[in-house]
Chain A
Amino acid sequence: GAVVSQHPSWVICKSGTSVKIECRSLDFQATTMFWYRQFPKQSLMLMATSNEGSKATYEQGVEKDKFLINHASLTLSTLTVTSAHPEDSSFYICSARLSGPVNEQYFGPGTRLTVT
């Protein structure tokens, strides 16, 4: 149980275009999902917290107009990178929080974005 999927697993796009990444909780409902960014050989950097039916909460320094997050249902959150630039190339990982007092989070397999 507690499986999270991401789609696509990798994507290459041209500079200036937008790309959407989906995060789905497959066997549980997640009122809260999180989006992370990871650079090679580094830890995860939290970008934003996505709550179903409300606006996402962005971490300091993350451009909310560039990284659009939508959490339209209890099993789906999307991250759209708008007007992508090469510096947006990274590994993007989502997680979904299992309801309960312990805050267990289950992670998707990640999406490798390359902007050319």
Chain B
Amino acid sequence: GDSVTQMEGPVTLSEEAFLTINCTYTATGYPSLFWYVQYPGEGLQLLLKATKADDKGSNKGFEATYRKETTSFHLEKGSVQVSDSAVYFCALSMIYNQGGKLIFGQGTELSVKP
């Protein structure tokens, strides 16, 4: 079945370091891909999305490119801040299958130290 795999955390970085969180997926069709962020004790916030191959989603300095050939959607940021500390979830959705459910990766905890 469809699935999402993320790199394991926690990831600990110093402020202004470069961030990469790997995400790969398995899907039978052409999914939409998402990154969500969850701050402690809160729900999820949509960070960025991409709907087709080679699309690049971007928001708040974060970027991810939909790579069909490698079935990947890695999250990157050039210079992280302490306020970026959170759990990041990669997800896919097949709108015409399964009622549009989101399938999540296991989440990657990011901790940024000053």
Contact = CB atoms under 8 A, between A and B. Distances in A.
Interface residues of B, number: 23
Q: State which size class the interface on A falls in.
A: 20 to 34
A67 interface: no
A95 B91 CA distance: 14
Interface string A95-113: 1010001111111111010
Interface in B11-42: 32, 34, 36, 41-42
A32 B99 contact: yes
Contact of A106 (B46, B51, B95): B46
A6 interface: yes
A24 to B, nearest CB: 13
Contacts of B41: 110, 112
Given A44-B89, A108-B43, A110-B43, A102 B32 contact: yes
B27 to A, nearest CB: 13
Contact of B51 (A32, A49, A102, A107): A102
A81 B23 CA distance: 34
Given A42-B106, A107-B43, A108-B43, A34 B101 contact: yes
Contacts, number: 58
B95 A110 contact: no
A contacts with B: majority SS? strand
Contacts of B105: 43
A103 B95 contact: yes
B93 interface: yes
Given A93-B44, A106-B46, A110-B42, 17 more contacts: A42-B107, A44-B104, A97-B100, A101-B51, A101-B95, A102-B93, A103-B32, A103-B95, A103-B100, A103-B102, A104-B34, A104-B46, A105-B46, A107-B43, A107-B44, A109-B43, A112-B41
Interface of B: 32, 34, 36, 41-46, 49, 51, 89, 93, 95, 99-102, 104-107, 109
